[in-house]
Amino acid sequence: MDLAPLEPFSVQIDFSTGLLAPDPDILDRRMFDLAGYFQTDITDPSAEAYSVHELRVPATGNNLLSSTTLLSAGKVGDEYLFTKGHFHANRDRAEIYLTLSGEGLLVMALEDGRTVTKEMRPGIANYVPGYWAHRSVNTGTTPLVFYAVYIGDAGYDYATISERGFPVIVVEGDDGPEVRPNPRYASS
């Protein structure tokens, strides 16, 4: 099948805010969207948790999708605020995260429960191979902003994480962020 080539384009990214021009598609997540994800109950359901700003490109396997994510700073109990996290619906699809501002941790997990955690700070690019669920955690005091690039037909599987949780949680310890086993993780 021959498809007409897309028109090349450029986008302006504000590294401190993650805002894009021209306007992207925007997905807003509020704290109530994360109800049940933390060890303790959320206290401010209407507060903004994060937003994802995605460039408008067809979600097909021959394209690269990309987005900025602006993740607020804060904690629920002693857990740092995080994104829901997902596997890709097409499990083998990979992704790259480039942190633009703020600081955090990228927590990745295989379905068998193995985890790897990597630092996120400006200038670091994290490679997320296929099969690894991924969640970003804001361990700083300012918004965590990153740019993600992923194969267009990766898709999202949020349900597995919603039902089982991540194998680890990130909490504020005496000497900074600590990665601990998630007592509520439902191993398969």
Binding site for Fe ion (CB under 5 A): 95
Query: b vs e for 52-78, b when ≥16 Cβ sit within 10 Å of the residue's Cβ?
Result: bbbbeeeeeeeeebbbbbbbbbeebee
Least CB distance to Fe ion at residue 118 (A): 14
Least CB distance to Fe ion at residue 167 (A): 17
DSSP characters over 37-101: TSSS--S-TTSEEEEEEE-----STTSEEEEEEEE---EETTEEPB---BB-SSTT--EEEEEEE
Residue nearest to Fe ion (CB): 95
3-class SS of residue 31: helix
- CA-nearest of 11, 13, 51 to 33 is 51
Q: Closer CB to Fe ion, residue 42 or residue 66?
A: 66
Contact 50, 31 (CB under 8 A): no
Beta strands across the sheet bearing 75-76 = 75-76, 79-80, 168-173, 176-181
Q: Closer CB to Fe ion, residue 42 or residue 100?
A: 100
Q: Closer CB to Fe ion, residue 55 or residue 171?
A: 55
Q: Closer CB to Fe ion, residue 42 or residue 54?
A: 54
Least CB distance to Fe ion at residue 49 (A): 17
Least CB distance to Fe ion at residue 188 (A): 20
Least CB distance to Fe ion at residue 68 (A): 13
Q: Closer CB to Fe ion, residue 95 or residue 103?
A: 95
